[in-house]
Amino acid sequence: MKHLIDKLRSNRRLDAEEYKALLLCRDTALAAYLQGLAREEALARFGNKIFIRGLIEITNRCRNNCYYCGIRKENRNITRYELTQEEILSCCHEGYRLGFRTFVLQGGEAPAVKDEGMVETVAAIRQSFPDCAITLSLGEKSREAYERFFLAGANRYLLRHETCNERHYRKLHPAEMSLSHRLQCLGWLKEIGYQVGTGIMVGSPYQTVDYLVEDILFIERFHPEMIGIGPFLPHHDTPFSSFSSGDMELTLKLLSIFRLMHPSALIPATTALATLAPDGRERGILAGANVVMPNLSPSHQRAKYSLYDNKASVGAEAAEGLQKLEERLKGIGYEVSKERGDYENGELTV
């Protein structure tokens, strides 16, 4: 099995059967070897610097009904909110003061009538913060909307494909959503010129090793600039409430595979990973992650953006806890970078 890991490092790819064997292997020494190589790869590209992104959860209103997600339309047990443009700008001001140079506006999927307001918000942020990157994570939109957000000043877009297998996609989403449209959106985003992020939940209900191999092959082909990967975590008010959480070791293994496959990618140690285990963030970094996304949302709204149960949003997961984050990173030999951290043709400007 070690030869497969070495092959992945030198060739940047494996065959489907080889990926499958690697995913199925439960040997802890090999897992440590894989993580060590992935960590070295990240250290060689980025040094011991971890990029920070200020996450602003702009709304928990959503027109979709994904079976896994706590802010799905049919969940009547949460109070819905939507930040105003002023509130979003004030989050950015606070973030800027703290040292953030990337703002990630994430929210449930809004109807097209809201697109114009979003264009104005992006333009306002762009005007006030010319030296910052603006990342959007607002789900599936029309090509025109993506273009207008981009022209208004957005630079990056996160849209996880969630699964690349048609049958699996159907089990996670109701009939009105489709994998082909999701992939269409990802194609548009790339064509328009965004730095694009995609990814999956590890251990989502009905996921199989073969599906994971399909996801790996998709990510290899699509070559996203950012790869978001975290464990599935159940939310009590969803149809998937009784499924168990994704596995830490498998999540880390996939993270390391993506790092070796795509050394320059921006890969966060996700909030879901930090929620699954108290040392999840650190373990993600030691397996090759190079980004963290602390929460910049107004603190009184954070609990309402409940994608899954017990979602971490305090301490080192909170933007105001940056010092705590810095201490924890120091504990494993890493430092926060306050650069924008763009992806640039395989070379990063730092």
Residue 150 sits at φ, ψ, to 5 deg, of -65, -45
Q: Helix (H, G, I), strand (E, B), or coil: what is residue 138?
A: coil
| 197 vs 321, beta carbon nearer ligand 5AD | 197
Does position 317 bind ligand 5AD by CB under 6 A?
A: no
| 34 vs 272, beta carbon nearer ligand 5AD | 272
Q: Helix (H, G, I), strand (E, B), or coil: what is residue 295?
A: strand
Does position 68 bind ligand 5AD by CB under 6 A?
A: yes
Does position 235 bind ligand 5AD by CB under 6 A?
A: yes
Q: In whole angstroms, what is the distance from residue 297 CA to residue 249 CA? A: 30
- Least Cβ distance, residue 57 to ligand 5AD (angstroms): 10
DSSP states of 182-239 as a string?
A: HHHHHHHHHHHT-EEEEEEEET-TT--HHHHHHHHHHHHHH--SEEEEEE----TTST
Does position 89 bind ligand 5AD by CB under 6 A?
A: no
- Least Cβ distance, residue 280 to ligand 5AD (angstroms): 12
Residue 266 sits at φ, ψ, to 5 deg, of -95, 115
- Least Cβ distance, residue 248 to ligand 5AD (angstroms): 13
Counting Cα atoms < 13 Å in the Cβ hemisphere of 223 gives 11
Amino acid of residue 344: E
In the set 19, 218, 232, 258, which binds ligand 5AD (CB under 6 A)? Answer: 232
Does position 219 bind ligand 5AD by CB under 6 A?
A: no
The b/e string for 298-312 (b: 16+ C-beta within 10 A; e otherwise) is: beebbebbbbbeebb
| 8 vs 203, beta carbon nearer ligand 5AD | 203
- Least Cβ distance, residue 68 to ligand 5AD (angstroms): 4
Which region, judged by CB under 6 A, interacts with ligand 5AD, from 13-21, 229-237, 278-286, 329-337? 229-237
Which residues, at least 6 apart from 64, have a Cβ–Cβ distance to it below 8 Å? 72, 73, 108, 109, 139, 173, 174, 177
Does position 201 bind ligand 5AD by CB under 6 A?
A: yes
- Least Cβ distance, residue 30 to ligand 5AD (angstroms): 26
Residue pair 105/312 in contact by the 8 Å Cβ criterion: no
Q: What are the contacts of 18-22 at 24+ separation with CB within 8 A?
A: 19/212, 19/213, 19/216, 19/217, 19/257, 20/209, 20/210, 20/213, 22/253, 22/257
| 57 vs 282, beta carbon nearer ligand 5AD | 57
List Cα–Cα distances, 126 to 121, 122, 235, in angstroms. Answer: 9, 6, 35
Binding to ligand 5AD, residues 180-199 (CB under 6 A): none
Which is nearest to 86 in space by CA: 106, 58, 114?
Answer: 58
137 annotated as ligand-binding? yes
Does position 69 bind ligand 5AD by CB under 6 A?
A: yes
Give strand pairing partners of 102: 133
- Least Cβ distance, residue 9 to ligand 5AD (angstroms): 28
Q: In whole angstroms, what is the distance from residue 91 CA to residue 103 CA? A: 9
Q: In whole angstroms, what is the distance from residue 94 CA to residue 32 CA? A: 39
62 annotated as ligand-binding? yes
182 annotated as ligand-binding? yes
| 194 vs 232, beta carbon nearer ligand 5AD | 232
Does position 218 bind ligand 5AD by CB under 6 A?
A: no
Does position 308 bind ligand 5AD by CB under 6 A?
A: yes
10 annotated as ligand-binding? no
Which region, judged by CB under 6 A, interacts with ligand 5AD, from 149-157, 210-218, 230-238, 338-346? 230-238
| 230 vs 288, beta carbon nearer ligand 5AD | 230
Which is nearest to 206 in space by CA: 246, 237, 179?
Answer: 246
Annotated binding site for [4Fe-4S] cluster, which residues? 62, 66, 69
Annotated binding site, which residues? 62, 66, 69, 137, 162, 182, 233
Annotated binding site for (3R)-3-methyl-D-ornithine, which residues? 137
What is the binding site for ligand 5AD (CB under 6 A)? 68-69, 160, 162, 201, 230, 232-233, 235, 272, 307-308
